[in-house]
Structure 1
Amino acid sequence: MDVLQDEILKKFGEHVKNLRLKSGLTQDDVVLNSSKITKATISDIENGKRNFAFTTLIDLAKGLNVPPKDLLDINFD
C-alpha cells in the first residue's frame, strides 16, 4: 500500500473505533450484530490494516447499528 492509502485507512479505522466506543459496543458486540464480519476483520479495520469491499462496509454498519452513511461521514483532508 502507498503512504496516502495507509493514512486514509488509519483515519477511517479511528473513525470506526470512535463510532463503536460512542455506541458502547465491544468488537464482540459488532460481530454478534453483523453475523458476516469477524472480530479479526473489525480489529484490522480499526487499526488501518485492511482495505475491504463495499459489502463489508454494509456489514460493518449493521454491526455498529449505524447507517452506512455514518461510516462515510469523515473528513480526509
Structure 2
Amino acid sequence: MDVLQNEILKKFGQHIKELRLKSGLTQDDVVLNSSKITKATISDIENGKRNFAFTTLIDLAKGLNVLPKELLDFEMD
C-alpha cells in the first residue's frame, strides 16, 4: 500500500471513530448492530490498518446506524 492510501485509510478510520463516539456507541455495540463485523475489524478500520470490501462498508453503516454515504463524508486533503 502506498503512502496516499495509508493516509486515506487513517483519515477514514478517524471519521468512523468520530461517528461512533458521536452516536454514543462502543465497538461492541457496532458488532451487535451489524452481526457481520468483528470487534477486531472495527478496531483495524478505526486505526487505518484495514482496507476492506464494499460489503463491509454496508455492514459498518448498519452497525453505526447511519447511511453508507455518511461514512464517505470526510475530508481527504
User: Normalising by the residue count of structure 2, what TM-score does the alignment of the two structures yield?
Assistant: 0.99
**After TM superposition, where is structure 1 displaced by more than 4 Å over at least 4 residues in a row?**
none
Identical residues among aligned pairs (%): 88
User: Normalising by the residue count of structure 1, what TM-score does the alignment of the two structures yield?
Assistant: 0.99
List alignment gaps of at least 5 residues for structure 2.
Answer: none
Tell me which amino acid in the other structure corresponds to 1:11. Answer: K
**CA RMSD, 1 decimal:** 0.4
Q: How far does residue 47 in structure 1 lie from its aligned partner after superposition?
A: 0.1
Q: Show the counterpart of 1:31.
A: 31
List alignment gaps of at least 5 residues for structure 1.
Answer: none
Equivalenced residue count is 77
Q: Give distance in 1, aligned partners of 2:53 and 2:74.
A: 18
Q: Show the counterpart of 2:8.
A: 8
